[in-house]
Structure formats: C-alpha cells, structure tokens
Amino acid sequence: MYKEQISKNRVKIYKKDVIVIAPKSWETSEKNCPVCKLTFRDTEDVDCFLEWECCTDCRDQYAYHNADKWQNGWRPKIKK
C-alpha cells in the first residue's frame, strides 16, 4: 500500500489496482467481530462494533447479559 498526499486534507491510497481518495486522517476499521471472528454482515454490525466492540449477534448473546463484566473487558471464549 502506498499513500500520496494530494492536498492539505486528502491522500490518495494505492493498493493493487484500486485507488482511494480519502481524508488524510482516514484509517481502515475492523471487518471481523473480535469475539466470534465472523465478518460483519452490514452497517448495523459496524455501528454495533463501534459501540460494543463486537457484532450484533455477540452483543445480543453475550454483551447485554453480561454488561458489567463486558464493560470491564470480559469476553467469552468461543469454541469452534
């Protein structure tokens, strides 16, 4: 990946055959849930990750029911 500044607040990001023009402070975000390791399905999962650090399924199954522990850093150990 290569970045080229094109203005005071914008950069051009080259990655393989794709060029992205983005704000200078732009960074990629997580694409998989760190709890269940599944890829986010939609923007609801992304929004949920920003608030709960997990997808909506993990929030509903684990975070809500263990809110105090969750806020203190607890995460379930999921066997595959």
Q: Tens digits of per-residue pLDDT, 34-60?
A: 999 999 999 999 999 999 999 999 999
Q: Which residue has the higher pLDDT, 68 or 20?
A: 68
pLDDT above 70 covers what percent of the chain? 99
SS3 state of residue 32: strand
Residue 7, CA distances (Å) to 15, 20, 25, 75, 76 in order: 19, 14, 12, 42, 45
Distance CA 11, CA 36 (A): 33
Residue 80 pLDDT class (50, 70, 90 cuts) = low
> What's the mean per-residue pLDDT of the chain?
87
pLDDT value for 10: 79
pTM for the full model?
Answer: 0.65
Structural element, H or E, at residue 11: strand 10-15
